[in-house]
Chain A
């Protein structure tokens, strides 16, 4: 079924970019797997937007679906064979029934009410929905909840210690590495992923790691400074 449902003209335009899958179908073409493959291939701490687009360009997901197909494969709203997944989110283990097509982003926000993770494009372009999966930054809009089964997920809420901010969050506050704040949870998570793997990153490593997260307010300069500051805070 289509889960990149951004069609202006669902009945006519042949422009679906990403396709999901039905229960029981092979998952070769789903976005989440592409992300996973890319990340594991290059071993980078967190996928970059460019890296991901590169894989799109290579034809991995350039699947066109005609209007008719889009209509016939339109989302079924219920699926009785829906499995339950055991997600480990911020150290807790909620048991959630998910539909195979449910993205991790959807489950976090709509089933678990964890709204700190933001939807920005729901097609892996902006990074607002970035979460850590086993310590690696992933776009939760392109990750199926089923894929995250049993894995350790950290969201922006998980970086807090009670009401105390984590070091990356604290550094973002100190350096005003945000304006409207909408991309901020994703930026903070991307920075966290970088620092877990590279505690003392260079400017180029910071740029690379943060390049999968768009900020329209243009806070990049302050984000770079905040990541450097967070590295200091984490060391102390």
Chain B
């Protein structure tokens, strides 16, 4: 694989399927996750949560609880700390205040009080002894209800999160007039919970005026900023440590109340405090993918050109401000006449958080089924319809993409899947119906500053890499280490990574939005190149050779054409004198006037049992353009994992709120909220990397992968179900019951 620009002497690592650099820790049980941290004298805390969907706290009586054995501190709305505000993360515009303990509780699960005690059991027992008097209020649980006149108001300002957003280009009326076929369909997607395997947890420890917090997060510096703002501290007084993150998917990207509560309890007691959420709590209060209802009206000519797209989205963000927009994916296809309207409402449920492919998963659930339907109506192959409407620039600001591997994804994916043959296969008439479907997606990635990383070459030729980057399983540590290894000619085993600690790392961007490697790859490369430059200058002087003749490899430096004469790095006088050669690196700004866009296409084959409504996904093929593939093994993990998550979105996952009576979430556990298991995923999964050899996106040639893997899976499965049964299922998840109902109503219609 060629390199985008001249750097090290040999590209020996990049592109190789190497095991993770931290695999040993992760398979041996020696990786220390936050929940594994135990400090001397540590207390355990727990949170009392409002059982009502909407209520006002009238009275708090903690008199009994405070006298129970082991109880060291109680916090509730009676305390001055209750008024502390949880700041919004920078990617969410300021919304209504999120008070630590608000007497006005806006969802079942909102924090009401907290206890720190000598043991976890004592903390839980004390919670039970706190008596709260509530006045219950009417609640609203769906966006549709929230915008109905007379609906219960979640906030005094009403139920709209922000004014209805309307985007428009071209002439919609003309566009529809030009169309040969116009369709209108409404797609609903259920609220999905991130549910990473590691429950959210924080350990907080005050030391005089300074606070150290261990917590799993994708964004240590954002966490630091939010904590400092909430507690009115300086940034440098707050240290956030997050070495291992046991899955996140967006739910650990922003500060959670429990972390602040642990910090305040620690300050009150002068003891370290651990606050671990239970699995059930993680279903209620640490984010979700909002439910959306999307209506698309689309016009297409017989030749396949899209003439008009009208997109109307109604989504609910939960009880506090976040995003329920979904129109971001509309730019996937060329269309001159577009109108997108987004309405986002508050409801009495837990707040949304960014969730892998935020907004766009919902967008493509609708758009990609609409494309399938259009292809069907005009008798065109769905792959061809997409190629027909392909575009290589943004239609919002006319900026070109640095590269567009979309067509190659479509063609190579179709080839690997055997798309034509599979589509032309005859359908059996029995109860088991097989079908195939496909769907596509795109995701734009923002790299660039501010981020600083440090690479140090030590006197013995080994290397340390210091960066903020989170590695929640994404492989960022491994990929960046491979880049350093290439530039400095050192084996991976000689590179040690320090990351995820604001106390040791320099400021770095969060690991999210598929941009970890787009930010940290170039930064690490720049730092390694800076080390390399210094070593070469030093060697040139000491060995009396021109820099251009020198190579650095395997801990030695010497003439490239006669490397046997190379000198160990440790023997260079300059290194002996300094003991470490430091390189500081930053990512260059994103290319001016251009957009970095990744693409993905997935194909699915399913079997629908028309008697039971059961759906089996038999195989999945993904073809993704995320730029250069640094490590194909981890690349594959990311894509397969994304598809499994998409399968859950399509078939099983749904937050169920008790709409008729209590307003509570009734399936806040993995028994009733079903994520895919080993028996639900197809054994036959394939992924094909498409690399357009992008030399503009950044200095490593990577474009970002994380979100892609999960975005087209669900619509590809739904389209395959349509292909199998002739029934278009518009609502997620497509449970057996749901499938049977649709089959029955389709039968009635005919």
Contacts and interface: CB of A to CB of B under 8 A. Distances in A.
Contacts of A224: 678, 683
B25 interface: yes
Interface string B10-35: 00000000011011111111111101
A164 B85 CA distance: 49
A5 B278 contact: yes
B279 A123 contact: yes
Given A174-B19, A211-B678, A216 B128 contact: no
A173 interface: yes
Contacts of A63: none
Interface in A206-232: 206-208, 210-211, 213-224
Interface in A1-58: 5-13, 17, 49-50, 53, 56
A175 B633 CA distance: 8
Contacts of B634: 176
B636 interface: yes
B472 interface: yes
B128 A220 contact: no
A88 interface: no
Contacts of A183: 197
A75 interface: yes
Nearest to B18: A176
Contact of B664 (A8, A174, A180, A221): A8
Contacts of A214: 197, 670, 675, 677
Interface stretch (B426-434, B576-584, B637-645): B637-645
Interface string A95-124: 000000000000001000111111111110
Interface stretch (B239-247, B297-305, B307-315): B239-247
B284 A118 contact: no
Given A8-B51, A120-B279, A180 B473 contact: yes
Interface string A78-95: 100000000000000000
Contacts of B671: 17, 53, 56, 123, 125
Interface stretch (B119-127, B597-605, B610-618, B689-697): B119-127
B624 interface: no
Contact of B23 (A17, A157, A178, A217): A178
Contacts of B676: 218, 220
A98 B670 CA distance: 29
B641 A210 contact: no
B569 to A, nearest CB: 27
B449 interface: no
B350 to A, nearest CB: 11
Interface in B29-78: 29-33, 35-36, 38, 48-51, 69-70
A169 interface: yes
Given A8-B108, A182-B198, A173 B27 contact: yes
A77 to B, nearest CB: 5
Contacts of B246: 118, 180-182
Contacts of A11: 51, 128, 131-132
B474 interface: yes
A170 B581 CA distance: 35
Given A123-B669, A211-B679, A219 B641 contact: yes
A216 B197 contact: yes
B733 interface: no
A71 B128 contact: yes
A142 interface: no
B681 A116 contact: no
B269 interface: no
B127 A217 contact: no
Most buried by B among A8, A74, A75, A185: A8
Contacts of A165: 24, 27-28
A50 B33 CA distance: 28
B477 to A, nearest CB: 12
A156 interface: yes
B15 to A, nearest CB: 15
B473 A181 contact: yes
Name the interface size band of chain A: 35 or more
B587 interface: no
A211 B51 contact: no
Interface in B189-223: 194-199
Contacts of A12: 51
B380 to A, nearest CB: 33
A157 B643 CA distance: 31
A224 B678 CA distance: 9
A120 B199 contact: yes
A144 interface: no
A182 B19 contact: no
A11 B49 CA distance: 11
A120 to B, nearest CB: 5
A181 B27 contact: yes
B87 interface: no
Given A8-B108, A221-B681, A221-B683, A182 B33 contact: yes
A213 B121 CA distance: 27
B498 interface: no
B139 interface: no
A218 B640 contact: yes
A71 B129 CA distance: 8
Contact of A121 (B38, B279, B475): B279
B20 A216 contact: no
B28 A128 contact: no
Nearest to B671: A125
Given A218-B681, A223-B678, A116 B28 contact: yes
A8 B35 contact: no
Interface string B150-191: 000000000000000000000000000000000000000000
B472 A180 contact: yes
B735 interface: no
Nearest to B22: A181
B29 A121 contact: no
Given A9-B49, A179-B473, A216 B27 contact: no
A188 interface: yes
B247 A160 contact: no
A60 interface: no
A120 B246 CA distance: 10
B29 A185 contact: yes
Contacts of A53: 671
Contact of A221 (B124, B197, B244, B685): B685
B28 A218 contact: no
B19 A173 contact: yes
A109 B197 CA distance: 17
A75 B125 contact: yes
Contact of B670 (A126, A181, A218): A126
Contacts of A75: 121, 124-125
A139 interface: no
B640 A173 contact: no
B108 A220 contact: no
A216 to B, nearest CB: 5
Contact of A120 (B28, B51, B198): B198
B280 interface: yes
B263 interface: no
Contact of A173 (B23, B35, B129, B678): B23
Most buried by A among B50, B197, B473, B670: B197
Contact of B669 (A121, A207, A221): A121
A215 to B, nearest CB: 7
Given A8-B108, A70-B128, A121-B279, 17 more contacts: A74-B124, A74-B128, A113-B38, A115-B32, A115-B33, A115-B36, A116-B28, A121-B670, A125-B671, A173-B27, A178-B27, A179-B472, A179-B641, A215-B678, A216-B197, A220-B677, A222-B637
7 contacts: A5-B124, A50-B677, A56-B671, A114-B29, A165-B28, A207-B678, A220-B678
Interface of A: 5-13, 17, 49-50, 53, 56, 70-71, 74-75, 77-78, 109, 113-123, 125-126, 128, 155-157, 160, 165, 169, 172-176, 178-185, 188, 203, 206-208, 210-211, 213-224
User: Shortest 4 CB-CB distances between A and B: which pairs?
Assistant: A116-B29, A218-B644, A9-B51, A182-B246
